[in-house]
Structure 1
């Protein structure tokens, strides 16, 4: 009989031990989950302008701005058509990109389809009459630099293209 009493107590201890283990695991998961959520909101949340300015400075410092210029010729010409006063008009444009950061030149090569697409959309949205003036061409250069840098920033986190050079600009 003494043996039977020990067995009963052992079974009750095992059941109580399992319950304690489950409770401990649940509490540990809740603590870890809460800590993870707090870390996420702390690191990802907040709209602190000082932190945003610090991030911009850090990003700008990562792009090489000194050294020899590196040029990347965009091989295929851009051809865009316009309808002007009922007549079909065309713009043929060859471009070269200028940077001082070889890493960003390599990124341009990788993301070339996206860049070409955005540039074609930019060129086709222009006014044919405005492109006939020097001011219109300079505004298009600035818009092209901004377009390429926006794509590079979106894809790599960095800009890095200093200038766009029009090596051929034919309007017909």
Structure 2
């Protein structure tokens, strides 16, 4: 009988141990599922941050006014650049006016004018004198000038805003 009782006690311990194992497995499963759910939540929240950043970028791009009357800013001092062509010194004198529809960006151009002038002088002096004599060369210079100005404005203010560059005087000698 003692042996029979011993077997019964072992059987009861085995049943209790089985219940403990089942509880441990359930707890571990819940932790894994909970961890997976938390990870998914944080990853989805990270996606919202990306969407929020994209929305902020879109909002800042929308901050530049694209409709309304045109505002012009004449750059007072002409740009003068010299070229050395076949041993002869050649000059380019260029006056320009900027066009925008956003007064805030016109004000930003005024504030950052030294940086903009520097960038434009470097751009103009890097051009080919012969190419600037053609209409296509002048159009390419105009496009490059708009890009250079908007790049500086984007670096300094977060948005561009210059629509066009108008060459009001273009003398090559």
TM over 0.5: yes
| Equivalent in the alignment of 1:153 | 154
**1:52–1:88 CA distance, 2 compared to 1 (3 A):** farther
Deviation sequence 1:132-168 (CA, Å, 0-9, x none): 0000000000000000000000001110000000000
Separation in 2, partners of 1:50, 1:84: 53
| Equivalent in the alignment of 2:121 | 120
| Equivalent in the alignment of 1:77 | 78
| Equivalent in the alignment of 1:25 | none
TM-score by length of 1: 0.70
**1:49–1:77 CA distance, 2 compared to 1 (3 A):** same
Separation in 1, partners of 2:50, 2:146: 26
Aligned residue runs from structure 1 range 19-58, under 5 A: 53-58=54-59
Aligned length: 128
* Offset at residue 55 of structure 1 (A): 4.0
Separation in 2, partners of 1:133, 1:49: 46
- The answer to whether residue 72 in structure 2 is matched with residue 103 in structure 1 is no
**1:160–1:88 CA distance, 2 compared to 1 (3 A):** same
- The answer to whether residue 87 in structure 2 is matched with residue 86 in structure 1 is yes
**1:94–1:150 CA distance, 2 compared to 1 (3 A):** same
